[in-house]
Amino acid sequence: MSSLRPLTRWLMSVPLVVAVTLTAPNSASAVAVLVAEVGSMPWAERVEALGTLKANESVNITANVTETISAIHFDDGQRVEEGDILVELTSVEQHALLDEAQVRVGEADRQYERVKALVAQGAASESLLDERKRDLDTARAVLVAIESRLSDRLIKAPFDGVLGLRNVSRGTLVEPGDTITTLDDDSFMKLDFTVPSVFMNALAPGLRIEARAAAYGDRTFEGVVRGVDSRVDPVTRSIQVRALIPNPERTLKPGLLMRVELLVDPRDALVVPEAAILHQGQEHFVQLVVEGEAGLTSERRQVRIGARKPGLVEVREGLAEGDRVIEDGHLKARPGQPVEIVIRDDSSVDARAARNPTP
């Protein structure tokens, strides 16, 4: 046992040499990613409001004089043209006065022509001719006045449109202001609505709108802004807008409540899938796929985003149309790392746009 102690002390004094073989690491393997191309599509901000429809032109048909109705020439809901006679008022007395006035005009005209011939022959004075001319002019003025009073007893349509319900019958005594019926020009409809004044700078004639009514389900009616009020409501801080909606099928009716979507700031926007956006505080980034001498690599780039819609984000700065961004796999692909495109989602933007269209 004692002979082993010197050997043990010798072994402890000899440095221990360990052989280690170092193997150079392999080059970084490419990360499989799903990419999508930056695309361009029509885009607009949508502002919702409620509005009430009005006819393009609307009037209550009334009488100008107090008289009884002698004839009615229309039915409920009938379409008429400008100048069509709707109602005749009793006018026997006016017709008698018209006949008398026509006779007086004829007699005055004959007297004037007779004196005119005598003046030409030197058998009458110029003052007598002037007197006969004055009589003729007076008779003609009386005739025009009677014809005007007679025309007041013929109630005509002031423009093309559709009539409402008839409120009178033959023999009814009507007075000025009594509503006989209504007339609406429904070829176009006016839609009045209010929007917050913060959008005032974006409001201008020609701006497109979309409107829907509960009575017509999901059917959409398109129109354009016709005018913007000159004043902002000091209580609600909103401004009134009037849009014009074509109504060729005569479907829309005055007074209908409609839900309006105002398409503010229409533009062609660059869009990317929502999944491609990386958020870091208030900043936003994407992972680009760029091609270099070493092949495809990932590049981190800061962008400025705009509006959103389901599945898509507008990019206002930082990208160009046709750039390829990583939609899936960007958390594994570090900047400068080689990447491999396993699926190229060329239809991602178009497909989402088709599911969520923006006019």
Tell me the pTM: 0.62
Mean residue pLDDT across the chain: 83
- The pLDDT value recorded for residue 189 is 95
Report the amino acid identity of residue 275: A
Q: Residue 28: which pLDDT band, with cuts at 50, 70 and 90?
A: low
- Is residue 189 a contact partner of residue 252, using CB atoms and an 8 Å limit? yes
- The pLDDT value recorded for residue 355 is 43
- The pLDDT value recorded for residue 259 is 94
- Kindly list the structural domains of the chain, giving each domain's residue range(s) and its CATH number in brackets, ordered by start: 31-43+268-355 (2.40.420.20), 48-57+184-267 (2.40.30.170), 68-88+155-179 (no CATH), 91-152 (1.10.287.470)
* Mean pLDDT confidence for 230-237: 92
- The pLDDT value recorded for residue 199 is 85
Helices 126-151 & 92-121 angle (0-180, nearest 10): 160
Q: What is the pLDDT of residues 77-92, one digit of tens each?
A: 999 999 999 999 988 8
pLDDT of 23 over the 90 cut: no
pLDDT of 206 over the 50 cut: yes
Q: What is the pLDDT of residues 242-282, one digit of tens each?
A: 999 999 999 999 999 999 988 777 788 889 888 888 888 88
pLDDT of 292 over the 80 cut: no
CA 65 to the chain's CA centroid: 42
Give long-range contacts, CB 8 A cutoff, 24+ apart: 169-175. 169/69, 169/72, 170/69, 170/70, 170/71, 170/72, 171/68, 171/69, 172/68, 172/69, 173/66, 173/67, 173/68, 174/62, 174/63, 174/66, 174/67, 174/68, 174/69, 174/89, 175/63, 175/66
* Mean pLDDT confidence for 221-240: 92
pLDDT of 348 over the 80 cut: no
Length of the chain: 359
pLDDT of 201 over the 70 cut: yes
